[in-house]
């Protein structure tokens, strides 16, 4: 058989049909791609998979035992087989609507095997509809030689529709049979490999797919984790090396300027965290090399004040500052908040302005033409000291007079090109300083990997006056009366003079088509346009209920938010458009419908909209999902703590970590399949040190061609471009 290399296309090894499925479902094109598609766990014949940890919507493979199987006849004459499989503790239902008698004959009580399919839900029962399965005592030993599986670990792969785990295992075995170890380039220096006691790459790849023991799995993982950590850190080291060569606009603090006057007028004392981060920003803004700092702080930690003080320092130095927000609602809210905080210091050119003052200009894509034209003129002439806007700020028609600082709020919600375009709006070769803010706390290891070219500051302390928020899960399918009680609580809060939010996953208009949820009969996610009138005419009848979502005209959105802020609206039914930045201290209660459709960080962000005043906050997470599922455990965890940093750790434990890098870096397949950002801090830190040292000696890796090849395997071209821009 002809030997192959890692660069060869899979079609030449596995045939066109299989290669097509691997590419379409898993984005695996080359031999190297397939060999880097690692098992996510291993099974043994005597060990059953825990059913409780399954996630609705995922394509799962479980080792389970058949408990019972029955055949029923449908009204149309079809024969359906329904079987119950178990891990010994919990049960999972599997159904077959065709060939029911055939499956019933095979799925006899006591049989064990692999079952693979998409996890769905029928009523309140977890279900696999039409799963693939392979029973250990039957087909398994007919397909593969018995001795190959005797005492061995069974690799369980991330699978896809049309190709299950054991079929992927066959593809991998066939490929490994055809490849010679010498055809697998090992970019790691032998001296370093010996120092770290790591196996050769070819050995690691064989062990991860065909291990004889868990010791071999551990040895392989140790090497493959290093490859992933080193590849990403090399790119980040190249980025840091290039970034230090650029020149920034120096913005030293000016005594007696607007910033000093602002500080003198503050009616409260800055927290220790605000003071510490503020001092760091003040020093870095003075430098001639560009600041590139990420400030992360929990919901309500006072990041807006920190950003405003930095922007005022830039304005005092004769520069402009731009703040980029992800939505028009948030941009308008920021502009309004900054004007309120500055008072007469933000009224330059107006009657009653302070002697030293500046102007805040709002720019969004859907502003009326006349207002937009004036805003563009003020920005280009330098009249506007602080500019707040959405992606409209990065259009070619926007020209800054002297941009000194860019503040990017909730940066993870912007695309690569959007951030890069604004950062390059400096004058000539001068680039602005960059301050990135996020209210989604990030564990240190994630920040080192995903934002490795940023310096990171954290603000953990909350300002005085923030009220506690109580959070409870409302299992509406199991306990319908609890949902009735939730609406009663909303009425009680309004009766006290307070206000409430109701959050839904969808808008519900013609453009907002509900996603298909194959494998179960789950209804589409609830929509604002349906829930708002239902509440107004039902459980919240008599209250002033209004809707808010992202597709409303800007003036209408602004009018709704202003009315809500003025307590003219008592209950606001909204999408996640209110997720960040919206500040209405009188709002004390929130009901999140279909809370299981949101992530941990998103739920925490939404919850942060209440409890912002003197009265305590209440957040109710409504879900129809049954207890014991991974999602319900996630909701329970959110209800158990309001510490965003603790939840960030939890989120990292729950989510597939590769997806974090994938979505944050490029939105395509991730290179992080083995590295744990939570548990492999030592590996990441050592890789960072080695990468920094290597790039200092060889910035373009001209002397390390093998490393360039492994970079292309682990971090694709699109991600490399992203990291170069970010």
User: pLDDT digits over 398-456, tens only?
Assistant: 889 999 999 988 655 554 455 566 666 666 678 899 898 887 766 665 665 666 667 78
Most confident of 142-156, 245-259, 511-525: 245-259
Q: Quick one: pLDDT at residue 101?
A: 78
Q: Decide if pLDDT at 458 tops 80.
A: yes
Could you give the CA distance from residue 286 to residue 385 in angstroms, rounded to a whole number? 18
The b-or-e profile of 191-211 (16+ CB within 10 A means b, else e) is eebeeeebbebbbbbbbbbbb
Which one is predicted more confidently, 269 or 713?
Answer: 269
The vertex-288 CA angle with 284 and 290, nearest 5°, equals 60
Could you give the CA distance from residue 255 to residue 345 in angstroms, rounded to a whole number? 16
Query: What average pLDDT does the segment 123-128 reach?
Result: 78
Q: Decide if pLDDT at 53 tops 80.
A: no
Which one is predicted more confidently, 2 or 502?
Answer: 502
Most confident of 351-355, 534-538, 632-636, 714-718: 534-538
Q: Quick one: pLDDT at residue 200?
A: 94
Q: Decide if pLDDT at 49 tops 90.
A: no
CB-based burial label for 655 (10 Å; 0-12, 13-18, 19+): middle
- Other beta carbons within 10 angstroms of residue 16's beta carbon come to 10
**Percentage with pLDDT > 90 across the chain:** 38
* pTM of the predicted structure, to 2 decimals: 0.67
Could you give the CA distance from residue 422 to residue 289 in angstroms, rounded to a whole number? 17
Bridge partners of 128, per DSSP, are 94, 119
Instruction: Collapse the DSSP code of 289 into the 3-class scheme (helix H, G, I; strand E, B; otherwise coil) and give the result.
Output: coil
Could you give the CA distance from residue 662 to residue 88 in angstroms, rounded to a whole number? 36
Q: Quick one: pLDDT at residue 417?
A: 55
Query: What average pLDDT does the segment 157-174 reach?
Result: 86
Integer angstrom CA distances of residue 106 from 113, 128, 198, 290, 352: 11, 17, 45, 67, 85
Most confident of 253-262, 626-635, 665-674: 253-262
pLDDT in tens, 22-41: 999 888 999 989 999 999 88
Q: Quick one: pLDDT at residue 645?
A: 76
Bridge partners of 499, per DSSP, are 587
Q: Quick one: which of 620, 364, 365 has its CA closest to 470?
A: 620
Query: What average pLDDT does the segment 670-686 reach?
Result: 78
Q: Quick one: pLDDT at residue 242?
A: 74
Could you give the CA distance from residue 13 to residue 15 in angstroms, rounded to a whole number? 6
Give 408-450 as a DSSP string: EETGGGS-HHHHHHHHT-SSTTEE-EEEEEESS---HHHHHHH
Among the ranges given (143-157, 297-311, 363-377, 391-405), the one the predictor scored with the smallest mean pLDDT: 143-157
Q: Do 325 and 409 contact (CB within 8 A), yes or no? A: yes
**Percentage with pLDDT > 70 across the chain:** 84
Q: What stretch(es) of the chain map to CATH 2.40.50.140?
A: 11-181
Place of tokens 């330098």: 382
Residue 715 pLDDT level (bands cut at 50, 70, 90)? low
Q: Quick one: pLDDT at residue 400?
A: 92
Could you give the CA distance from residue 551 to residue 507 in angstroms, rounded to a whole number? 8
Strand order in 617-623's β-sheet? 469-475, 617-623, 587-592, 499-503, 571-574, 545-548
Q: Quick one: pLDDT at residue 148?
A: 46
Residue 53: what are its φ and ψ, rounded to 5°?
-90, 5
Supply the mean pLDDT for the chain.
Answer: 83
Q: Quick one: pLDDT at residue 54?
A: 79
Q: Quick one: pLDDT at residue 46?
A: 62
Q: Quick one: pLDDT at residue 141?
A: 46
Which one is predicted more confidently, 250 or 233?
Answer: 250
Query: What average pLDDT does the segment 636-653 reach?
Result: 81
Could you give the CA distance from residue 199 to residue 188 in angstroms, rounded to a whole number? 10
Place of tokens 């503790």: 89
The b-or-e profile of 375-406 (16+ CB within 10 A means b, else e) is bbebbeeebbbbbbbbbbbbeeebebbbbbbb
Q: Quick one: pLDDT at residue 97?
A: 78
Q: Quick one: pLDDT at residue 152?
A: 65
Residue 516 pLDDT level (bands cut at 50, 70, 90)? low
Could you give the CA distance from residue 651 to residue 535 in angstroms, rounded to a whole number? 32
Query: What average pLDDT does the segment 119-128 reach?
Result: 79
Q: Where are the beta strands (DSSP E) in 290-385?
A: 292-297, 320-324, 360-363
pLDDT in tens, 206-247: 999 999 899 999 999 999 999 888 888 888 888 777 766 778
Q: Decide if pLDDT at 123 tops 60.
A: yes
Q: Quick one: pLDDT at residue 725?
A: 43
Which one is predicted more confidently, 603 or 665?
Answer: 603
Q: Do 347 and 258 contact (CB within 8 A), yes or no? A: no
Q: Quick one: pLDDT at residue 113?
A: 83
CB-based burial label for 329 (10 Å; 0-12, 13-18, 19+): buried
Query: What average pLDDT does the segment 565-579 reach?
Result: 92
Could you give the CA distance from residue 607 to residue 457 in angstroms, rounded to a whole number? 23
Q: Decide if pLDDT at 136 tops 50.
A: yes
Query: What average pLDDT does the segment 564-578 reach?
Result: 94
Q: Decide if pLDDT at 300 tops 80.
A: no
Q: Quick one: pLDDT at residue 558?
A: 86
Q: Decide if pLDDT at 147 tops 60.
A: no
Could you give the CA distance from residue 608 to residue 602 in angstroms, rounded to a whole number? 10
Query: What average pLDDT does the segment 706-721 reach?
Result: 62
What is the DSSP code (8-state) at residue 78?
Answer: -
The b-or-e profile of 236-268 (16+ CB within 10 A means b, else e) is bbbbbeeeeeeebbebebbeeebbebbeeeeee
Q: What is the CATH number of domain 273-286+302-438?
A: 3.40.50.300
Q: Decide if pLDDT at 124 tops 90.
A: no
Q: Decide if pLDDT at 262 tops 80.
A: yes
Residue 503 pLDDT level (bands cut at 50, 70, 90)? very high
Query: What average pLDDT does the segment 377-382 reach?
Result: 93
Q: What is the CATH number of domain 11-181?
A: 2.40.50.140
Query: What average pLDDT does the segment 197-207 reach?
Result: 94
Q: Decide if pLDDT at 578 tops 90.
A: no
- Other beta carbons within 10 angstroms of residue 555's beta carbon come to 11
- Largest Cα separation within the chain, whole Å, is 89
Q: Quick one: which of 371, 413, 417, 379 has its CA closest to 397?
A: 379
Integer angstrom CA distances of residue 386 from 102, 114, 309, 322, 361: 71, 61, 11, 6, 6
Q: What stretch(es) of the chain map to CATH 3.40.50.300?
A: 273-286+302-438, 469-641
Residue 667 pLDDT level (bands cut at 50, 70, 90)? very low
Could you give the CA distance from residue 483 to residue 439 in angstroms, rounded to a whole number? 30
Q: Quick one: pLDDT at residue 570?
A: 97
Query: What average pLDDT does the segment 108-131 reach?
Result: 82
HEC string of 660-672 equals HHHHHHCCCCCCC
Structure token digits, residue 629: 């599922």
Q: What is the CATH number of domain 469-641?
A: 3.40.50.300
Could you give the CA distance from residue 602 to residue 607 in angstroms, rounded to a whole number? 9
Q: Decide if pLDDT at 668 tops 80.
A: no
Among the ranges given (143-152, 511-520, 622-631), the one the predictor scored with the smallest mean pLDDT: 143-152
Q: Quick one: pLDDT at residue 658?
A: 44
Q: Quick one: pLDDT at residue 518?
A: 47
- Other beta carbons within 10 angstroms of residue 614's beta carbon come to 11
Q: Quick one: pLDDT at residue 464?
A: 67
Q: Quick one: pLDDT at residue 716?
A: 57
Q: Do 222 and 673 contact (CB within 8 A), yes or no? A: no
């Amino acid at each position: 058989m002809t030997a192959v290399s890692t660069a060869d296309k899979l079609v030449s090894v596995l045939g066109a049909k299989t290669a097509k499925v691997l590419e379409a479902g898993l984005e695996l094109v080359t031999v190297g791609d397939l060999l880097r598609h690692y098992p996510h766990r291993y099974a043994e014949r005597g060990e059953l998979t825990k059913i409780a940890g399954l996630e609705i919507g995922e394509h799962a493979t479980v080792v389970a035992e058949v408990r019972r199987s029955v055949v029923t006849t449908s009204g149309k004459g079809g024969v359906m087989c329904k079987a119950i499989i178990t891990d010994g503790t919990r049960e999972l239902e599997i159904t077959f609507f065709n060939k029911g008698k055939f499956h019933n004959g095979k799925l006899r009580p006591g049989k064990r095997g692999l079952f693979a399919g998409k996890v769905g839900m029928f009523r309140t029962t977890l279900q696999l509809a039409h799963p693939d399965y392979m029973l250990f005592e039957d087909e398994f030993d007919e397909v593969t030689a018995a001795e190959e599986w005797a005492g061995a670990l069974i690799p369980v792969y991330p699978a896809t529709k049309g190709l299950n785990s054991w079929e992927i295992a066959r593809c991998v075995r066939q490929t490994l049979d055809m490849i010679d170890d010498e055809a697998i380039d090992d970019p790691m220096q032998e001296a370093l490999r010996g120092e770290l006691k790591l196996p050769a790459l070819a050995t690691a790849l064989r062990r991860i797919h065909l291990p004889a023991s868990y010791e071999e799995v551990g040895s392989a993982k140790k090497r493959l984790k290093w490859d992933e950590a080193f590849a990403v850190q090399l790119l980040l080291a190249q980025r840091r090396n290039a970034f230090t060569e650029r020149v920034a606009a120096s913005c030293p603090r000016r005594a007696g300027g607007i910033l000093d006057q602002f500080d003198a007028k503050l009616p409260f004392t800055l927290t220790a965290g605000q003071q510490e981060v503020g001092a760091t920003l003040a020093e870095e803004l003075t430098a001639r090399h560009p600041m590139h700092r990420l400030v992360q702080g929990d919901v309500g930690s006072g990041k807006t004040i920190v950003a405003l003080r930095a922007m005022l320092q830039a304005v005092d130095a004769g520069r402009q500052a731009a703040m980029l927000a992800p939505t028009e609602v948030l941009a308008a809210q920021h502009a309004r908040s900054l004007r309120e905080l500055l008072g007469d210091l933000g009224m330059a050119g107006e009657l009653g302005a302070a002697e030293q003052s500046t102007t805040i200009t709002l720019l969004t894509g859907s502003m009326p033409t006349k207002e937009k034209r004036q805003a563009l003129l003020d920005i280009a002439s330098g009249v506007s000291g602080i500019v707040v806007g959405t992606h409209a700020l990065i259009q070619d028609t926007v020209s800054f007079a002297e941009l000194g600082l860019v503040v990017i709020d909730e940066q993870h919600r912007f695309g690569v090109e959007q951030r890069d375009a604004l950062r390059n709006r400096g004058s000539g070769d001068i680039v602005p300083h960059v301050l990135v803010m996020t209210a989604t706390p990030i564990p240190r290891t994630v920040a080192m990997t995903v934002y490795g070219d940023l310096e990171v500051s954290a603000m953990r302390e909350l300002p005085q006056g923030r009220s506690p928020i109580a959070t409870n899960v409302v299992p509406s399918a199991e306990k319908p009366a609890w949902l009735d009680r939730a609406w009663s609580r909303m009425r009680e809060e309004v009766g006290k003079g307070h206000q409430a939010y109701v959050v839904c996953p969808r808008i519900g208009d013609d453009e907002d088509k509900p996603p298909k949820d194959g494998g179960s009969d789950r209804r589409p996610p609830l929509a604002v346009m349906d829930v708002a009138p239902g509440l107004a005419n039902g459980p919240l009848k008599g209250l002033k209920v209004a809707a808010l979502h992202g597709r409303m005209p800007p003036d209408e959105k602004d009018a709704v938010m202003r009315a809500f802020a003025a307590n003219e609206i008592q209950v606001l039914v909204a999408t996640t458009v209110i997720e960040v930045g919206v500040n209405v201290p009188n709002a004390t209660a929130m009901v999140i419908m279909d809370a299981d459709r949101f992530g941990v960080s998103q739920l925490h962000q939404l919850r942060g909209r209440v409890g912002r005043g003197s009265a305590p906050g209440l957040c109710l997470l409504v879900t129809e999902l049954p207890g014991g599922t991974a999602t319900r455990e996630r909701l329970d965890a959110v209800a158990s703590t309001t510490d965003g940093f603790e939840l960030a750790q939890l989120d990292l434990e729950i989510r597939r970590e590769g997806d974090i890098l994938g979505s944050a870096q490029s939105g395509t397949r991730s290179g992080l399949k083995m590295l744990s950002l939570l548990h492999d801090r030592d590996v990441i830190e050592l890789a960072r040190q080695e990468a920094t040292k290597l790039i200092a000696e060889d910035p373009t890796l001209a002397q390390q061609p093998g490393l360039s090849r492994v970079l292309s395997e682990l971090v694709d071209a699109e991600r490399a471009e992203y990291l170069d821009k970010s």
